[in-house]
Amino acid sequence: MSSSTAHARHTRRTALAAAVAVALTAGSTVALAGTASAGTAAPAVAEVTTAALVKGLYQSSYSERNDTLWVTVSVGRPPVTDSRLLKVDPDTLEVEQTIVPPVTNATTGAREAVYGVAVDDEHNTVWVTNTRNNTVAVYSQRTGAHLATLPDVNHARDILVDEKHDTVWASGFGDGTLVAYDSRTLTETRRVTVEGTGPTGLTLNERTGAVYAADLNNDQIIEVSRKSGEPRLIPAGDGPIAVALSRNGRTAYTADQTGGTVSVVDLKAGTLTKSVATGAGALSVATDERTGNVLAVNRGAANVTVVDPRAGAVVGTVATGTNPNHVELVEGTAYVVDKSGSGPAGEDLLTRIRLAR
C-alpha cells in the first residue's frame, strides 16, 4: 500500500435496496441482495454483521501481525473512571482481552482515558491518545502492559503510525500542533504548530512519509512532509474532521462534519475538486484500495455511505446504530463503532461491513 489511513493500513450509483437491520447479538449477519436500480450489476456492499460490545466505544485499529482489532472505550466526561482498551477478534467480534488504563487521580478514580488508537505491528505496540489528559500512551500488543505515557499534546485527538520511518504522529487539536515520536525509543522527535488551526483526523502517505491532518477550524488540510520545515495548507470541504488518501497518494478525501459531505482534493494542484453529500455529521472516512471507493461514517444520519469519488456519487448505504463514530477499513472489510447504546444491556455496537469488489 502506498497511501492508506492510520486506521486503514492494509487496507453502482444507487443506494441499496433496503436498509440493513441492526442486529444486537454477537455474530448476527445480514447478507445483502442486489441494488434497487436497473442497470447496475452489483451492490457496493456484500455482508453486514453487528455485535454489541460495551458502552463508550470510540475508535478501532487493526493489527495484521496479531489478527486483532484494538478498540478504545471511554465513558462520560471528566473525571473519566471507566476506560478500557479492548482486544477484539475481527472474525467473531468477541472481546478477547480487556486492558484497563492506569489511574491518574486516586481521589476521584479518574483514569488515563483512551480515545484515538493506532497499531504499530513492527514493534508490536498499540498507541492511544488520552484526550482528557493531553497525553498519548503506548501499550504492548503481546502482554497488554502500559509501556509509556508521553506528555504535552493539547487535546490529543488522533494518532497514526508510519512503520517505514519508525515514526508516530499525534494531532493536538487544542493548540494546532502535530507531534512526532520515535516508535523505537518512545520519545518525541518533532513538533509542528500551525497557529489558529484545529488538527483532528490524520492520514499518511506511506511511500513518502508525508502526514495529512484535517483542520476542523479552517476548512483545510495540513500537509507536513518529512523534508520541508513549512507545512502546506490545502483547501478542503466544510468542516473537515477526518481525512484519507487514494491508493496512489495523489488525492485526499475529507469527511466534512459541518457540510455532511465527502470532499475530493487534488493534492498536487492544491484544489478542492468536488464535494459529495453523504449524510449529516460526516465524521470518519476511509478508502477501499481495491475499488477506489470511499466510506464515510455519518454520525447524524446513523449510517455509512459508500462513495464513488470519480463519479461523485453515493453507491451504497448501510444503516448502523445511532451516532456511528469511526471506521477502520482492512482489505475490503470495514469495522464501524457507534455510540448508540442500543445493545441488550445498553452497549454500543461494532458493525463489520464486507464490501463488494
CB burial string 250-265: b at 16+ within 10 A, e below: ebbbbbbbebbbbbbb
pLDDT band at 173; cut points 50, 70, 90: very high
pLDDT digits (tens, 9 = 90+) for 225-279: 998 779 999 999 999 999 999 999 999 999 999 999 999 999 999 999 999 999 9
Report which residue type is found at 143.
T
Say what the pLDDT of residue 31 is: 38
Please, what is the Cα angle at 155 between 151 and 158, to 5 degrees? 90
The strand pair at 125-130 and 146-150 is best described as unpaired
Q: Is 68 helix (H, G, I), strand (E, B) or coil?
A: strand
Residue 13 CB contacts under 8 Å (≥ 6 apart), including other chains: 37, 40, 308, 311, 313, 315
Q: Is the pLDDT of residue 41 over 50?
A: no
pLDDT band at 5; cut points 50, 70, 90: very low
Say what the pLDDT of residue 43 is: 82
Report which of 315, 297, 12 is spatially closest to residue 306, judged by C-alpha positions.
315
CA–CA gap between residue 63 and residue 313 (Å, rounded): 31
17 and 37 Cβ atoms separated by less than 8 Å: no
Query: What mean pLDDT is reported for the chain?
Result: 90
161 and 168 Cβ atoms separated by less than 8 Å: yes
CA–CA gap between residue 7 and residue 150 (Å, rounded): 21
Sign of the Cα torsion 150, 152, 156, 158 reads negative
pLDDT digits (tens, 9 = 90+) for 57-107: 999 999 999 999 999 999 999 999 999 999 999 999 999 999 999 999 999
Mean pLDDT, rounded, for 214-231 = 94
pLDDT band at 287; cut points 50, 70, 90: very high
Say what the pLDDT of residue 28 is: 55
Say what the pLDDT of residue 20 is: 34
Residue 126 CB contacts under 8 Å (≥ 6 apart), including other chains: 61, 63, 70, 85, 117, 118, 119, 120, 138, 139, 140, 141
Instruction: Kindly tell me the number of DSSP H helices and DSSP E strands found in the chain.
Output: 0, 31
Q: How many other C-beta atoms can be found within 10 angstroms of the C-beta atom of residue 227? A: 7
Mean pLDDT, rounded, for 196-200 = 98
Say what the pLDDT of residue 227 is: 82
Q: Is the pLDDT of residue 357 over 70?
A: yes
Say what the pLDDT of residue 40 is: 38
Rg (CA), the chain: 19
State the DSSP code for 230.
S
Range list of H helices, 55-134: none
280 phi and psi angles, rounded to 5 deg: -60, 135
pLDDT digits (tens, 9 = 90+) for 290-336: 999 999 999 999 999 999 999 999 999 999 999 999 999 999 999 99
Look up residue 218 and give its three cell numbers. Answer: 479552517
pLDDT band at 42; cut points 50, 70, 90: low
* Cα dist from 96 to 67, 77, 86, 131, 249, whole Å: 12, 26, 8, 25, 35
Q: Is the pLDDT of residue 343 over 80?
A: yes
